[in-house]
Amino acid sequence: MKKLFLLDGMALIYRAHFALSKTPRFTSGGLNTSAVMGFTNTLLDVLKKEKPTHMAVVFDTDAPTERHTDFEAYKAHREAMPEDLSKALPYIFKVVLGFNIPLITSDGYEADDIIGTLAKKAEQKGYQVYCMTPDKDFAQLVSDNIFIYKPARMGNDMEILGVKEVLAKWEVEKVEQVIDILGLWGDAVDNIPGIPGIGEKTAKALIKQYGSMENIIANSHELKGKQRENVEQFAEQGLLSKKLATINLNVPVELDEAGLEMCAPSKELLEPLFAELEFRTLGRRVFGDDFSIIETRAAGTQIDMFGAPVAEGRTTMQVEITDIAESPTHAAKNITNVEHEYHLADTPEKRAELVALLSQQTHICFDTETTGTDANNCELVGLSFAIKPGQGWYVPVSAVKEDCQSVVNEFKAVLENPDIAKTGQNIKYDIMILKWYNVEVKGKLFDTMMAHYVIDPDTRHNMDILAENYLGYKPVSITELIGPKGKNQGSMRDVDPEKIKEYAAEDADITLQLKTVFESKIKEAEAEKLIHEIEHPLIYVLADMEYEGVRIDEGALRDFSKELEGDIIKLEKTVYDKAGVRFNIASPKQLGEVLFEKLMLDPKAKKTKTGQYQTGEDVLLALANKSDIVRDILDFRQLQKLKSTYVDALPLMINKKTGRVHTSYNQAVAATGRLSSNNPNLQNIPIRTERGREVRKAFIPRDENHILVSADYSQIELRIIAEISKDENMRAAFTQNLDIHTATAANVYGVALDQVDGTMRRNAKAVNFGIIYGQSAFGLSQSLGIPRKEAAEIIEQYFIQFPGIKNYMADTMNFARENGYVCTLMGRRRYLRDINSANQTVRGFAERNAINAPIQGSAADMIKIAMINIHRELKAQNMAARMTMQVHDELVFDVPHNEVDKIKPIIEHHMKNAIKTEVPIMVEIGTGLNWLEAH
DNA sequence: CGAATCACGC
DNA sequence: GACGTACGTGATTCGA
């Protein structure tokens, strides 16, 4: 197969430049060598991994093309190129020529146009064409044999976008429609604004609805308000923008097949260049280990920018070839889109018939339609059911509360029947909704969202996406019913039930079909226990916790808020005085300018990639000795955060109906298996600082007859490491019940336990911490504020002392490399697609995840099991105590005084024995009149 | 509205 | 020897 790679040179240079500009750039004599290096590395990656048979790099010249309507703006744009980057340009040309890759420069045409024309011509000649350009510009040309190639970036492996990916990404049916979106959005060409007020999201939604820009303009009368006005007024400009976004496929350029054929890099050209730029590693990557810049320097010859002729006698590529591992694919797309019949059950008779049918089933699928997304604060609009593929029912309910309740009551018996298993997508939400209508859903659960989460935790579990990937079916979108997200979004309540029926019954139907697909996938992944014994039962537990909520001392927070307010104003004043200027301290941009330009606190201040000064905590702390203003700024920030995120926000989250705060636990976001919490996030309530702790005091028991009980796993992750690594030293520390950080320090520093000082313990703690979170020497040196070398030494000593841990890490990594996944004690898998990637950065991510996922994930498994068992026992014993919060390794309960003594052993027992381990598991339980006291 | 920056917990 | 370095949620600013 002939494989042609077409590169947009300028786009790649900018990419290399910005990727590296986060860190201080390596510049010598005004030359940005890191841009050259980044460019060369990417080029090399492509050559090695993709092995193109033909290739070309296309550069725009500085001349304007017919696509540039505003010449002045174009010139300004070109001149805005950073100086060091423009100096790098000739070097990049040399690199391209050195690799013997044809360099095409445009003459009045955009690089995109040339690439597009060549791509089309090559496609007709049977080439597979890969275009390395921003996908935004090129998405419209993708076809069966034309792909967009996105080189590996930080955190992402290389990506190839084909037709399927482009359609999904732009949410369109035809690739040509991408141009329409770009035209509307106006982001395609500089200085052509498209249609004002229409951004990417709106553009996508409109195209989805109308199919084309012309159609939108023709039907603009259907639009509302400002949007209609804009579309009508700026229609012409939008069309112009579309025209300019369109790639010109008629550039007079010939596809010179022989000329584009790949050949070996030229040692004569590249060696002196690498020597000049001191690219040792790159040199070795290209020419092998014996490459040395010292020798070549002496023999170095200068080459002209374009003067060097392409070397003769082309042979095949001599660079080392590494194979890329096939990434696992999981989409099965063979379920047919069966004929469906969806019924509207909107009369008592029809409902009775449905209830009778449902009662006979052993399992049903159901879904609720509501007026909002907050389960504790919305109304039921309808219920939908499915029992076999292709069939579905929708039951609308009245907006009148009593009528609604009576319809729900008709289905109560079915929903509460423990012998009828229930399937749903994100079924916790539906369970919560029904709780508000006095229905306690019972029966074995199957949640398609959770099912997909255990099958593949890293990807998304949104139903529309699941349906497309696994059923090859595109469901009716919710935006078709209630319009795009935003303040003008309609309510489900106002939609014709006949219309909702198609959407809602379909949802239930699809969910049911997904269940079948996922059941076999779960079997394949050996995740049956995990899903049926942990995730699904946990749904009931979480629903109860969310429904229960926690009580917040509103008055105390209001007082605290006033106190903070006063202190913040005081600090503000001090900062203004010291700075001699009034500015917005909360704006990192303004703050940076004041600190580094006005006060000149640090002449070598680092900038972020957007050109702002860095003003993060670590940066400011480093300046603390220069001026005490930074102390005030940090204090200001802390108080501001405290006030806005917690003190002022929490009272606003109090539910009007219950007077309590109902968080929402997300069971399917964290790839490690942890839960997350939002609205409000109860898992990041301050604890470290004195003032932050005040917030915890506002979490109080239900009433004077209750008390809070908090139970904490002690060092659970480290115990799990000790358990799975079987490291003797670490195990001994736990069996002897030593303070683990002190014990670690004693080992690492080779001193007796009682000789461990504060610094030693702190360092040891940080290493333990780092291992849990998959940090590296760099991360450790950052968190401890010590040189990287020192951090590396500590880590090295750590591994000598805890060889079991080192072995565990190596074993896990090997397992991951061979199997493509790692797993926790309960068999929760995490797939690591990049574990064999040739890109070091990308692979590094995967490797850290490989170590980290089993540890954090096992801890998550453990507390989940404990939660289920405690919840079950509280129910069995008919206790009034309630579990209210989970913070990764801590559980909080609202307990009547007379149950405190009874509940403590229950909690302790179930937490300690959730998973059988050899390493002892310790749990600390406390009680108190607020969370701080209990913890 | 989105991106960028910062900060909090584990 | 250079890349870049735990996750998740949320507030704020700022430019479009």
pLDDT digits (tens, 9 = 90+) for A457-481: 988 899 988 998 899 888 888 888 8
Residue A189 has pLDDT above 60, yes or no: no
**Which CATH number characterizes residue A163's domain?**
3.40.50.1010
Helices then strands (H, E): number in chain A? 41, 24
Asked whether residue A104 is domain-assigned, the answer is yes
The sheet that has A882-886: what strands, in order across it? A882-886, A890-896, A706-713, A923-928
Residue A690's pLDDT is: 93
Question: If pLDDT is split at 50, 70 and 90, which confidence band does A820 have?
Answer: very high
Rounded to whole angstroms, what are the CA distances from A793 to A152, A169, A767, A798, A825?
Answer: 31, 46, 11, 8, 31
Bigger pLDDT: A597 vs A294? A597
Indicate yes or no: strand C within 7 A of the C-beta of A202: no
Distance from residue A587's CA to nucleotide C14's C1', rounded to whole Å: 9
Indicate yes or no: strand C within 7 A of the C-beta of A28: no
Domain match, A849 and A865 both: no
- Of A627, A642, A659, which residue is a domain's last? A659
At residue A812, φ and ψ (nearest 5 deg) are: -60, -45
Domain match, A17 and A163 both: yes
| Nearest nucleotide from residue A37 CA, by C1' atom | C2
Residue A626's pLDDT is: 85
Question: If pLDDT is split at 50, 70 and 90, which confidence band does A330 have?
Answer: very low
pLDDT digits (tens, 9 = 90+) for A266-322: 888 888 888 777 777 777 777 776 676 554 433 333 333 333 333 332 222 222 222
Asked whether residue A829 is domain-assigned, the answer is yes
Distance from residue A61's CA to nucleotide C15's C1', rounded to whole Å: 30
Strand C bases near protein CB (under 7 Å) are 1-15
- Protein residue closest to C10, using CA and C1': A645
pLDDT digits (tens, 9 = 90+) for A386-411: 999 999 999 999 999 999 999 999 99
Asked whether residue A372 is domain-assigned, the answer is yes
pLDDT digits (tens, 9 = 90+) for A630-652: 999 999 999 999 999 999 999 99
Question: If pLDDT is split at 50, 70 and 90, which confidence band does A614 have?
Answer: confident
Domain match, A828 and A865 both: no
Domain match, A775 and A845 both: yes
- Protein residue closest to C13, using CA and C1': A587
Q: CB–CB of A124/A141 below 8 Å?
A: no
Bigger pLDDT: A578 vs A12? A578
A386 DSSP β-pair partners: A365
Decide the pairing of beta strands A890-896 and A923-928: unpaired
- Of A265, A296, A314, which residue is a domain's last? A265
Q: Please compute the mean of the pLDDT values over residues A864-869 and round it to a whole number.
A: 98
Indicate yes or no: strand B within 7 A of the C-beta of A694: no
Query: Rounded CA gap, A198 and A220, in Å?
Result: 14
Indicate yes or no: strand C within 7 A of the C-beta of A774: yes
Exposed, middle or buried, A471 (CB in 10 Å: 0-12/13-18/19+)? Answer: buried
Nearest to A447 by CA among A466, A433, A434: A466
Bigger pLDDT: A298 vs A253? A253
Domain match, A385 and A511 both: yes
Distance from residue A288's CA to nucleotide C14's C1', rounded to whole Å: 49
Q: How many CB atoms lie within 10 A of CB A310?
A: 14
- Protein residue closest to B1, using CA and C1': A199
Asked whether residue A382 is domain-assigned, the answer is yes
Residue A80's pLDDT is: 57
Indicate yes or no: strand B within 7 A of the C-beta of A60: no
- Of A808, A829, A853, which residue is a domain's last? A853
A882 DSSP β-pair partners: A894
Amino acid at A173: E
Residue A221 has pLDDT above 70, yes or no: yes
How open is the CA angle A479-A483-A489, to the nearest 5 degrees?
120
Indicate yes or no: strand B within 7 A of the C-beta of A686: yes
Q: Which of A60-64, A173-177, A183-187, A351-355 has the lowest mean pLDDT?
A: A60-64
Which structure tokens are listed for A733? 């520390």
Domain match, A842 and A877 both: no
- Protein residue closest to C8, using CA and C1': A676
Residue A908's pLDDT is: 98
Query: Rounded CA gap, A572 and A874, in Å?
Result: 51
Domain match, A771 and A866 both: no
Residue A170 has pLDDT above 80, yes or no: no
- Protein residue closest to B8, using CA and C1': A684
- Protein residue closest to C3, using CA and C1': A841
Question: If pLDDT is split at 50, 70 and 90, which confidence band does A18 have?
Answer: low
Indicate yes or no: strand B within 7 A of the C-beta of A615: yes
| Nearest nucleotide from residue A689 CA, by C1' atom | B8
Per the structure, the complete domain to which residue A903 belongs is given by 707-716+859-934
Indicate yes or no: strand C within 7 A of the C-beta of A775: yes
Nearest to A186 by CA among A230, A144, A251, A248: A230
Q: Which of A192-201, A222-231, A623-632, A900-909 has the lowest mean pLDDT?
A: A192-201
Asked whether residue A186 is domain-assigned, the answer is no
Please tell me the total count of domains within chain A: 5
Query: Rounded CA gap, A231 and A216, in Å?
Result: 8
Distance from residue A685's CA to nucleotide B6's C1', rounded to whole Å: 16
Bigger pLDDT: A43 vs A451? A451
A 782-821: CB within 7 Å of strand C: 788
- Protein residue closest to C12, using CA and C1': A586
Three-state secondary structure readout of A30-46? CEEHHHHHHHHHHHHHH
Q: CB–CB of A249/A112 below 8 Å?
A: no
Nearest to A602 by CA among A630, A574, A639, A583: A630
CA within 13 Å, CB half, A743 = 15
Residue A454 has pLDDT above 90, yes or no: yes
Query: Rounded CA gap, A214 and A209, in Å?
Result: 12
Distance from residue A46's CA to nucleotide B2's C1', rounded to whole Å: 32
A 840-899: CB within 7 Å of strand B: 887-890
How open is the CA angle A463-A677-A371, to the nearest 5 degrees?
50
Asked whether residue A145 is domain-assigned, the answer is yes
Residue A149's pLDDT is: 86
Residue A219's pLDDT is: 84
- Protein residue closest to B3, using CA and C1': A610
Nearest to A412 by CA among A450, A441, A383: A441
Which structure tokens are listed for A81? 């190129």
Indicate yes or no: strand B within 7 A of the C-beta of A513: no
Question: If pLDDT is split at 50, 70 and 90, which confidence band does A76 have?
Answer: low
**Which CATH number characterizes residue A781's domain?**
1.10.150.20
Distance from residue A19's CA to nucleotide B9's C1', rounded to whole Å: 30
Indicate yes or no: strand C within 7 A of the C-beta of A837: no
**Which CATH number characterizes residue A590's domain?**
1.20.1060.10
Of A231-245, A584-598, A638-652, which one has max mean pLDDT?
A638-652
Q: CB–CB of A695/A668 below 8 Å?
A: no
Asked whether residue A320 is domain-assigned, the answer is no
The residues near A563 (Cβ < 8 Å, ≥ 6 apart) are none
Bigger pLDDT: A860 vs A286? A860
Rounded to whole angstroms, what are the CA distances from A318 to A53, A228, A287?
Answer: 13, 60, 8
Q: CB–CB of A70/A21 below 8 Å?
A: no
Query: Rounded CA gap, A479 and A486, in Å?
Result: 11
Exposed, middle or buried, A234 (CB in 10 Å: 0-12/13-18/19+)? Answer: buried
Residue in this structure with the two tokens 């309510």, named with its chain if needed: A491
Q: Please compute the mean of the pLDDT values over residues A544-555 and round it to a whole number.
A: 97
Q: Which of A12-21, A492-501, A579-588, A903-912 has the lowest mean pLDDT?
A: A12-21
Exposed, middle or buried, A414 (CB in 10 Å: 0-12/13-18/19+)? Answer: buried
Amino acid at A609: K
Strand B bases near protein CB (under 7 Å) are 1-2, 4-10
Distance from residue A684's CA to nucleotide C7's C1', rounded to whole Å: 12
Domain match, A647 and A760 both: no
| Nearest nucleotide from residue A782 CA, by C1' atom | C5
Distance from residue A770's CA to nucleotide B7's C1', rounded to whole Å: 19
Residue A191 has pLDDT above 70, yes or no: no
pLDDT digits (tens, 9 = 90+) for A19-34: 554 443 444 445 667 6
Indicate yes or no: strand C within 7 A of the C-beta of A649: yes
Query: Rounded CA gap, A12 and A467, in Å?
Result: 36
Nearest to A667 by CA among A448, A474, A851, A833: A448
Domain match, A563 and A521 both: no
Nearest to A350 by CA among A503, A501, A217, A229: A501
Bigger pLDDT: A113 vs A693? A693
Decide the pairing of beta strands A391-396 and A421-424: unpaired
**Which CATH number characterizes residue A480's domain?**
3.30.420.10
Query: Rounded CA gap, A671 and A456, in Å?
Result: 9
Indicate yes or no: strand B within 7 A of the C-beta of A779: no
A 182-211: CB within 7 Å of strand B: 199-201
Indicate yes or no: strand C within 7 A of the C-beta of A669: yes
Domain match, A480 and A406 both: yes
Per-position b or e across A906-916, b if 16+ CB within 10 A of its CB: bbbebbbebbe
Nearest to A201 by CA among A221, A184, A225: A184
Residue A171's pLDDT is: 76
- Protein residue closest to B9, using CA and C1': A684
Query: Rounded CA gap, A172 and A915, in Å?
Result: 48
Q: Sign of dihedral through CA atoms A576, A582, A584, A588? A: negative
Asked whether residue A241 is domain-assigned, the answer is no
Rounded to whole angstroms, what are the CA distances from A693 to A134, A240, A379, A647, A698?
Answer: 47, 58, 36, 11, 9
Bigger pLDDT: A262 vs A859? A859
Distance from residue A898's CA to nucleotide C8's C1', rounded to whole Å: 37
Question: If pLDDT is split at 50, 70 and 90, which confidence band does A323 have?
Answer: very low
Indicate yes or no: strand C within 7 A of the C-beta of A459: no
The residues near A835 (Cβ < 8 Å, ≥ 6 apart) are A325, A813, A816, A817, A820, A843, A846, A847, A850
Distance from residue A758's CA to nucleotide C7's C1', rounded to whole Å: 28
Domain match, A816 and A832 both: yes
| Nearest nucleotide from residue A619 CA, by C1' atom | B6
Q: Please compute the mean of the pLDDT values over residues A63-82 and round it to a whole number.
A: 58
| Nearest nucleotide from residue A588 CA, by C1' atom | B5
| Nearest nucleotide from residue A484 CA, by C1' atom | B1
Residue A681's pLDDT is: 95
When the pLDDT of each residue in chain A is averaged and rounded to a whole number, the result is 85
Domain match, A730 and A590 both: no
pLDDT digits (tens, 9 = 90+) for A340-391: 899 999 999 999 999 999 999 999 999 999 998 899 999 999 999 999 999 9
Q: CB–CB of A658/A546 below 8 Å?
A: no
Indicate yes or no: strand C within 7 A of the C-beta of A19: yes
Indicate yes or no: strand B within 7 A of the C-beta of A666: no
Indicate yes or no: strand C within 7 A of the C-beta of A500: no
